[in-house]
Structure formats: C-alpha cells, structure tokens
Amino acid sequence: MGSFLSKKEFPVEGRTILITGGSRGLGLAAACQLAAKGANVAIGARDSEVLKEALAQVEKSACSPTQRFFSLTADVTKADECSRVIAEVTAWNDDSPPDIVWCCSGSAHPTLFVDTPVEQLQTMMDSNYFSSAYMAHATLNAWLRPAIDGTVKKTEHKSLQARHIIFTGSFVSLYSFAGFTPYSPSKAAIRSLSDSLSQEMNLYAGAHPDEPRVRVHTVFPATMPTKSLDDENRVKTDVTKALEEGDQILSPDECARRAIAGLERGEELVATSTIIRLVMTTVMGGAIRGGFWTGLVNTLLSWIVMIVMVFIRWDMDVKVRNWGKKHGASGKLSE
C-alpha cells in the first residue's frame, strides 16, 4: 500500500531510464527488469568491458524491438562527470533528458573506525553520498532549469507523467552497528538528502504546475550475494560478522523486483525485506508515509518495534562488550 488509492505510480513503458552502477548487482538486475517492462535504458559504470557485457544482458530483456539501449563509462564521484553523463544521455535520447534516474553506484568498506585510514572516510562519502548528490544535482538542473529560466517550450513534454530520482540506501541508513562506521554515515546522508529533496520539489510543483512533477525515492536493499559483498567480507571484522548472523539474503533479481514493486505502489522509502520495513517504521521522521492506511500501519508498527529495538540494542551492546573481553579490541577472533 504505497498510496491511498491502488494505482500504478511508476509507469516505465516507452520512458527513458538512466541507472548508474548499472553493470552489476542491483543496478543490472533493475535495468533488465525495467527493460522487460518496456523502458528504454541507459546504464553507466566505470569498467567498459563489464559494462559491455551488462548492456547485452539488458538488451536481451527487452519486450519490444523498438526499445533503445545505451551505455557509457563514467566516474560519478566527480560532479563534472555526472553533468557529462546527463548531457550524453540527453543527446542520445533525442535531446530529451531521461525521465527516471536511479543512482545505484556505491561501495562499502566495513571496518572499525579507529582502524580505518582517514582517506577511506572520504572515499566512502565520495562513492556513496556524493555520487548520488552530484547525479541528482545534474539531473534536477536538466529537468528544472528550463522552467526556472523561462526557456521551456510548451511542446517539449508529451505528458505530465512524473519524473523520478531514485537513491539507493542500505539497512545501515536506518540502524548502524559496530564495524560499519566508515560506511553508514554516507548511506544515512543519502536518506537525509532524499527527505529534503522530496519536500523541496514541492516548490517547483507550485511554481510550475504545467511541468512534470518530480518524485524522490530511496530504496533500501537487503544484503545481496554479489562481488561487492565478497569484497566487503574480506575487510569486515569477525565481530561485525557475528552481529550480522541471521541477516536475510536476497538475490539481486529479487531485490530489484521488490524495489520496483514498491516504486509502482508510490512509496518514497522502499524497504525490500521485512526487517528493513520494521526498523524503518521507527526512524521515518518527517518522511512521507504513503497515504492514510499505510501511515496508520507504519505508526502502529513503530510503537511495537521501538520497544523491541531497545532490547536489540542492549543485546548487541552486550555482544560487542563480551567480544572485547574474550578476543580483545581487534574485532577479530583470537587465536
């Protein structure tokens, strides 16, 4: 239940979608599923060879021979690269900016804070937060600047279907724990950016009612068995792995399916697992609840889950303290 009335809030057939980080994992799975729904899809990533293989997979997912697909290499941790990406996709898309932009690029370096080189803290913000913020900035300027400057043409828009920016958060956007300190602030910042932009877009909706509305979303994926997870586990401490025991694992395809279903329901904050949904109810703040009934359910759930979270936090604190007593401060199992 994403809105008061049940209707499809995320139509993609015939529309153009840009996905950064689209060469693997959630980004690639989403690109394939959106292509299967009739979207024209552009994907971006750093590795040109991996990108080439990914584009072939996306093309095979198409449901119509009239669909178009595009790929480009880019380092979206740089603002000028994000502007270039939007410009190139716009040129490819008959001089029209993409209708939907999904920021899927990012990385994780889950280590203990005091053991993390300070350079890695900046890398995490660049890879996760700034890659999303820069892409959103370039996208919104492409969408909104013509109306602000009074240069938009009345014939430019075929319809007033909403445009969408989609960020990719994490469970630790909502609740972090020992060993994710370098990573979780960058994902929490994305959640804050999403909430702020969601309200800010009302300014432009009010000032320019004849222009397409801009919707802002954040998807919170469950843990996925990908190369990125393998990379994380190589640096992750044993104490963090112990705290993660019982974590729900979803394939990228299933995670993308749940994310897209949430977008189609009109959800602004999209949980892809039960545990993420429950924890999210306790930290929604001023976020859009998604209509009366969904808001009521989330509120009732939050009263219960907030009590449970008190005990979960206590239990995790005890586990970490006892780990230190038994194994020392390295976070690793003692020999």
User: Which residues have a catalytic role annotated?
Assistant: 183, 187
**Could you tell me the CA-to-CA distances from 50 to 32, 44, 57, 106, 182 in Å, in that order?**
15, 10, 11, 16, 27
Q: How would you class 65 by CB atoms within 10 Å of its CB: exposed for 0-12, middle for 13-18, buried for 19 or more?
A: exposed
Question: Of 108, 127, 249, 133, nearest to 184 (Cα)?
Answer: 108
Count of CA atoms in the C-beta half-sphere (13 A) of 237: 27
- Residues facing residue 219 across a β-bridge: 168, 270
In whole angstroms, what is the distance from residue 69 CA to residue 59 CA? 7
Number of H helices, E strands in the chain: 11, 7
Looking at residue 172, the DSSP 8-state letter turns out to be: G
In whole angstroms, what is the distance from residue 8 CA to residue 161 CA? 12
In whole angstroms, what is the distance from residue 39 CA to residue 67 CA? 7
Residue 333, token pair as written in the block = 């199992």
- Tell me if residue 44 falls in helix, strand or coil: strand
DSSP result, 210-275: TSPPEEEEEEEPPB--SHHHHHHHHH--HHHHHHTTT--B--HHHHHHHHHHHHHTT-SEEE-SHH
**Contact 74/46 with Cβ under 8 angstroms?**
yes
In whole angstroms, what is the distance from residue 201 CA to residue 35 CA? 27
In whole angstroms, what is the distance from residue 72 CA to residue 78 CA? 15
